[in-house]
Amino acid sequence: MEEEKEIYKADDRLVVALDVDSFDSMKALVDELGDLVSYYKVGMELYYSAGSATIHYLKEHGKKVFLDLKLHDIPNTVGHSVASVTRLGVNLITVHAGGGRAMMQAAARYAKITADELGVERPKILAVTVLTSFDDKGWQEIGGHLPIQDHVLELASLAKEAGVDGVVASPKEATSIREMAGDDFLIVTPGIRPAFAQTDDQKRIATPSQAFKDGASMLVIGRPITQAIDPKAATRLILKEIKENA
């Protein structure tokens, strides 16, 4: 019985993506999953519809928050945007690695300055490499000259040099990034599909256990949980796989 409780205990390596478009839908899902989940991702769809109220609710309920807005603009604008969301108390913030070295440096700098001013823990900055919706054909259509894996590795190397905490990349690139960046660099992987789930529009995917074996630090899982007939049962299956195989 105690062993079963441990298997189904919330794990910060599992981040549930709140792929919903309203505060009420978010609240219903978070309330349903309860203590099974400790970390949530708030993306553009939810944040643009419900705003900072989503962050406040999650923090009030003891959850960690990955704010995935994929900031991409001139360094000054991104820096001030990071400062603004740092004040909300989020734990992870994404910027696009394609914004360049100066932009990523500004994000990291403003996160630290703002956190120091507030006397709070600095949010970690993640650089998004290549979206997991891309396959080789789609990548070539937008002018990708290098293979996706090579381009992701170049962006990850630049992100590390720029001083951000890690990257968002598909499980397929996790091994090469881990070899390049070392153990302390965060590799957060979307495109995770447990055996019972459909692949949907994700192209470069892996199971939870395989992603960890390949070097991932944290997994972002959305629809296999949020669109499941029984989200709690789906979450338990994923936690079981993580605990037994990762």
pLDDT tens-digit profile, the chain (246 residues): 455 566 778 899 999 999 899 999 999 999 999 999 999 999 999 999 999 999 999 999 999 999 999 999 999 999 999 999 999 999 999 999 999 999 999 999 999 999 999 999 999 999 999 877 777 788 777 777 778 888 889 999 999 999 999 999 888 889 999 999 999 999 999 878 776 655 555 454 578 888 888 899 999 999 899 999 999 999 998 998 888 765
Residue 153 contacts by C-beta under 8 Å, 6 or more apart in sequence? 173, 176, 177, 180
State how far the Cα of 235 lies from the Cα of 246, in Å rounded to an integer: 16
Whether the predicted model's global pTM rises above the 0.85 cut:
yes
Radius of gyration over every alpha carbon of the chain, rounded to an integer in angstroms: 17
Q: Which of 41, 63, 70, 203 is catalytic?
A: 70
70 belongs to the catalytic site: yes
Nearest to 221 by CA among 184, 163, 87, 202: 202
CA 115 to chain centroid: 20
Are 74 and 103 in contact by the 8 Å Cβ rule? The answer is yes
